Amino acid sequence: MIDIKQVEKKPTVVLVGLNTDRDEDLFASSMQELRGLSEAAGMKVCAVVTQNAEAPTQATFVGSGKVEEIKTRIEYDDADAVIFNQTLSPMQIRNLEKILDREVIDRTALILQIFADRARTREARLQVESARLQYLLPRLSHMRTGLTRQGGASGSKSSKGAGEKQLELDRRHIEHRLAELRRELEAVNKERSTQRSRRLSSSVPKVALVGYTNAGKSTIMNHLINDFADGNTDEKKVLEQDMLFATLDTTIRKISPAGHRSFLLSDTVGFIDDLPTTLVKAFRSTLEEIKYADLLLEVIDFSDPDHARHMEVTDKTLAEIGAGEIPKIYVFNKSDIADELGTTMVQLPYVRDHRIYMAAAKDIGTEELLSLIDKVLLEGSQECELLIPYSKGSILAAINEGSEVINTEYLPEGTKIIAKLKKKDVNKYAEYISSTSEVHRRKQADNS
């Protein structure tokens, strides 16, 4: 991989894409995304080469004529590397590097490099290193083409050449390091599970921001932190930048807006089409934070012409990690840009059912989003009458913080409240629910 920190100028790259069966617009969008990924990795795109074909060429992925065209572009622009929009086989990378005399990077390796550059927490760094080593392991045999794989005199103890010996050493080293990483990640996962258990025991609702990369999740989170978080809000904010995968680490902050329910808001890594399998596996423990949310805010860049496909990718990824059935609000962000482009003709902010059209960067729609969060969190709630003993002040505080309290009355035997409880909280606080409460009568009828 190019180490951009060791060069003063940005490395220049030629982008290559092969379209075998995609719609032309989808293919063009995919190539534009590759440009965004390259720029996010600190590289400068100097040329783009594409080809239409029924299937990839086995030896070099693209045809021999196209390889010569790429070579010409490299020489003309003095490019440092070539980036392909698909995942290449180790043999294809080896053959292309031999012909082009330049480093060849495929889409998977590019995304892995971005993740490695952006990882900040110990857990993220461990996850990325694990993913990169898993990607590297099957490619080792094609990385030492200059070393002989045969040698040793007849009758010697080993007929293995220097290349083969080094290959085995490298493989053992990687496998050993992967085992170490698995152990370290297991320890981190246990710590995360402990923290998650504490949050789950709380009645404060859990809300998670999800969506395609660069849709505006961090912008929404920072606005909510700035306006409604306690303490030093600047320290609690996340990196907000107009680029793919600006943030990787999961961040959880408590949001306490006046006149609305408090909730824990988490921001997770953005999704992308063809996200490397090794990364999905490596980040599974982080992504599992989403599974425990009471509500998902799926943020969509409404100004992107390809936003419908981005929604499909997000929904597919959510289903893969077991979060497909969690209640969801579709947040169509950057709707002001879409309005300028003539895509939308509604007055912003606009709310319809579980959808909101807003512009987080201009702080348009924040109040309406909070009201919609309140509404969706209360869907399926049951109105209950509870009597909380004065000795159980923590229970009363939890209900006040995590539920909509309609009425409070102080009696000699305790605090009587009428509140709307979620189903799981009805079971959790069953012993305090009054026998005159409608939900209690229904439970009694079900038991009989």
Strands, sheet with 404-411, edge to edge from the N-terminal-most edge strand: 382-388, 414-421, 404-411
101/166 same-domain check: no
230/146 same-domain check: no
Residue 175 lies in a domain: yes
Residue 113 lies in a domain: no
Mean pLDDT of the chain: 83
101/130 same-domain check: no
Annotated ligand binding at 231? The verdict is no
Annotated ligand binding at 246? The verdict is yes
Our count of domains for the chain comes to 4
Annotated ligand binding at 211? The verdict is yes
Is residue 114 a contact partner of residue 132, using CB atoms and an 8 Å limit?
A: no
Residue 336 lies in a domain: yes
Residue 412, number of CB atoms within 10 A of its CB: 5
Annotated ligand binding at 42? The verdict is no
Residues 272-298 have pLDDT tens digits of 887 777 777 666 666 777 888 889 999
Stretch among 5-9, 55-59, 143-147 having the lowest mean pLDDT: 143-147
266/322 same-domain check: yes
Residue 321, pLDDT score: 82
Residue 110 lies in a domain: no
Residue 147, pLDDT score: 37
Annotated ligand binding at 269? The verdict is yes
Residues 355-371 have pLDDT tens digits of 999 999 999 999 999 99
pLDDT band with cut points at 50, 70 and 90 for residue 135: confident
174/253 same-domain check: no
Tell which of 378, 408, 426 closes a domain.
378
9/93 same-domain check: yes
Residue 438 lies in a domain: yes
Residue 216 lies in a domain: yes
Residues 166-188 have pLDDT tens digits of 778 888 889 999 999 999 988 88
Is residue 294 a contact partner of residue 374, using CB atoms and an 8 Å limit?
A: no
The separation between CA 208 and the C-alpha centre of its own chain, rounded to angstroms, equals 11
Range of the domain at 391: 382-447
Determine the Cα–Cα distance for residues 333 and 323; give it in Å rounded to an integer: 22
Annotated ligand binding at 215? The verdict is yes
- Residues 108-131, mean pLDDT to the nearest whole number: 85
Annotated ligand binding at 333? The verdict is yes
Residues 250-275 have pLDDT tens digits of 788 999 999 898 899 988 778 888 77
Determine the Cα–Cα distance for residues 321 and 304; give it in Å rounded to an integer: 25
- Residues 292-311, mean pLDDT to the nearest whole number: 91
The 3-class SS string of 288-342 reads HHHHCCCEEEEEEECCCCCHHHHHHHHHHHHHHCCCCCCCEEEEEECHHHHHHCC
370/419 same-domain check: no
Tell which of 139, 161, 190 closes a domain.
190
Annotated ligand binding at 17? The verdict is no
pLDDT band with cut points at 50, 70 and 90 for residue 342: low
60/175 same-domain check: no
Residue 235 lies in a domain: yes
12/125 same-domain check: no
- The CATH number of residue 20's host domain is 3.40.50.11060
229/371 same-domain check: yes
Tell which of 54, 83, 105 closes a domain.
105
Residues 63-74 have pLDDT tens digits of 999 999 999 999
Note the residue count of the chain. 448
Annotated ligand binding at 217? The verdict is yes
Residue 198 lies in a domain: no
Annotated ligand binding at 410? The verdict is no
142/290 same-domain check: no
Annotated ligand binding at 336? The verdict is yes
- The CATH number of residue 428's host domain is 3.30.70
Residue 291, pLDDT score: 85
Ranges of H-type helices in 17-137: 24-40, 64-77, 90-100, 107-118, 122-136
Residue 311, pLDDT score: 93
Nearest to 370 by CA among 253, 229, 257: 257
357/209 same-domain check: yes
- Residues 304-329, mean pLDDT to the nearest whole number: 89
Annotated ligand binding at 55? The verdict is no
Nearest 5°: the CA angle 69, 109, 1 is 80
Q: Is the pLDDT of residue 79 over 90?
A: yes
Residue 356, pLDDT score: 96
- State the DSSP H helix or E strand holding residue 404, giving kind and residue range, or none if neither: strand 404-411
Annotated ligand binding at 249? The verdict is yes
- The CATH number of residue 331's host domain is 3.40.50.300
Annotated ligand binding at 306? The verdict is no
Annotated ligand binding at 210? The verdict is no
Residues 409-437 have pLDDT tens digits of 999 999 999 988 877 788 888 899 887 55
3-class secondary structure, 255: strand
